A and B are shown apart, each in its own frame.
Chain A
Amino acid sequence: MFRIILTKIAAGLLTTLGVSIVIFLGTNALPGDAAQIRLGQAATEDSLRALREELGLNLPLYQQYFRWLFNFLQGEFGTSLASGNVTIAQLISDRYENTLIVSTLTAMIGVPISVGLGIMAAMFPGTIYDRFLTLGSVTLVAAPEFFTATLMVLFVVFFLGIGNAVVVGSIEDKNLAELITHFILPIATLCLVIAAQLIRMTRAAVLNVMNSPYIEMAILKGIPRRRVVMRHALLNAIGPIVNVIAINLAYVVTGVIVIEVYFGYAGLATLIVQGVQTRDYILIQTLGMIFCATYVILMMIADLASILSNPRLRHPK
């Protein structure tokens, strides 16, 4: 069993390494290097050469890559190209809180509710409740995030009269009520976005188990439906469900980009969009790596979870 886990982890690390190469090469294709951008109009041949030497840009590409990777792993991300002499670490530490709070709270609130709803839908397939949920999630799963966000704004701000359509100010010195109005819209929207996926996939996972012969046996024995689901089906569905959860958490990492821009609050996602607009490729490299690594790790957890929870995969023949 350890061998399987180790190979999975090794595969995840290798993928991350591959992703880092893609990101490094992609951002290196940008016209102009860091020395040119930083010196701008004032660049002379000599000053350019000096700065390139200092930044290590005269080294061969593969050496630059390893240097960059090594620095990245040590948390030395370099200095931003667009915003003067601010270090990337500084920019990130100013912003990361918002992104972290929103995605963590989304996971903590959205996941249990949607998994519960999905199991309920699988428990009573074909009922009005199930159809309502299925139709709702079919609609939301295909709709863009900003559509869901607009619906949430219409409902929460215009109908309920809570909060503001645009999130303003920092979270410091705000009391609980103010914090709730600060975060309610982005979190509620993201919850809705992942709920659509989660409900559908959880329902499918449980229904898949419900179709197996031993469940048929249990039903024929006359066990009440709720007990069949809770005791017989659910235990075997845990693996797929955990898998589904991890996949959707990985989805939050990307979904948060649109949501942050929509509600205009300062987080890591708005930072990377800003980086693309100002062509600050050091910023893009760093944040791209952070987002992609999180994504890969979550996908790896999804993989591991489905192996660990399934005895047949845990002890392959």
Chain B
Amino acid sequence: MSQADQENVHPVTPVYLGRYLLSHLREYGLLFALIAIMLFFQVMTDGTLLKSVNITNLFLQNSYIIIMALGMLIVIVAGHIDLSVGSVMGFIGAFSAVLIVQWELPVALAIPLCLALGALIGAAQGYWVAYWQIPSFIVTLAGMLIFRGASLWLLEGQSVGPFPKEFQALSTGFIPDFMSPGFRDGLLALFEVRRINAGALVVGVASALVVVWLNLRKRQQNVRYGIEEEPTGFFVARNMIVAGALLFVVFKLATFRGLPNVLVTMAVLTVIYAFITERTTIGRRIYAVGGNEKAAKLSGIKTERLTFLAFTNMGMLAALAGLIFAARLNTATPKAGFAVELDVIAAVFIGGASMAGGVGQIIGAVVGAFIMGVMNNGMSIMGIGIDYQQIIKGLVLLAAVVFDVYNKRKRG
């Protein structure tokens, strides 16, 4: 304790700050990278990137990647990989079109059916990986081929649509303003804008406060345990940046059409999965399985069942992504989800997860997905061809992982 206390009252010299920053490059690196990339494209696109309409688009375009990255992070932390998510996503989109458009099933029934089928597909793949010890690369490569073919077969090579309004709302809907008109008028006058979704703004401010409060609580806990290393200045700056960015984005959204439904879905899922991975026994056990499967097994952990569940969960999230994607396009096409698994996996690795398993965080995967999304979006606005886009994304992925490995080596 006394040693740690001393560190806390350490005179904050520039040398010390520099050393601290160097030893925590990874944590800050991701945040800085996202900010740097956003600023870069903000300049390169003459301010288009951070316009209200484009920020809204960013979320609409990338939500399905982020949702799948949540599941993929768990699969990768458990020491596996899932190559089939793009195909499963496309297949479920096709399946939903058959149910809703062709068979005219009610949306409220079709959605749970689709999610259940996704979970079943994940379970079927997880079964071979978990109980037969077949490498996940092979099982899900097979799954990738199978469900790519299955969507073609299901749609008979055609696009099927359009979907009813309530299904489209899954993706393109916005949360209606729930605040009183008087409050809204006050805000309109205050910010001198033409329109504003007051409810969205309230939610945004509240969540920014919650984030800061959570960080503060975490810091207090660490100080109590004597393990807090982050200098106060860094803590304040980091929270101001995060809260500021959150408020900025919400303000932009609120002055356009409000909070997209997908954004809310995505945010809620992110919070749930962050909680599961960090605070629950099942989360802890998944990290243990990925970190050292033999040790986990000899500690009484049912490693096979966890692997099975990780794939089942991944299948369900891929199904959800498929629904969101189909709802956004308002049609199911055989091409949906093509090569999307690569973006999802890249997002998770950019976010700091380790191929060997046992390492990675939900928030990292989400930020990783945003980095990919901003690059996609920014490069498209700039009119960079798909060829260069792929090359640049590949280089960024390689750079992120090399940076990780370099950091690890330096620490020894």
**Are the chains A and B members of one assembly?**
no
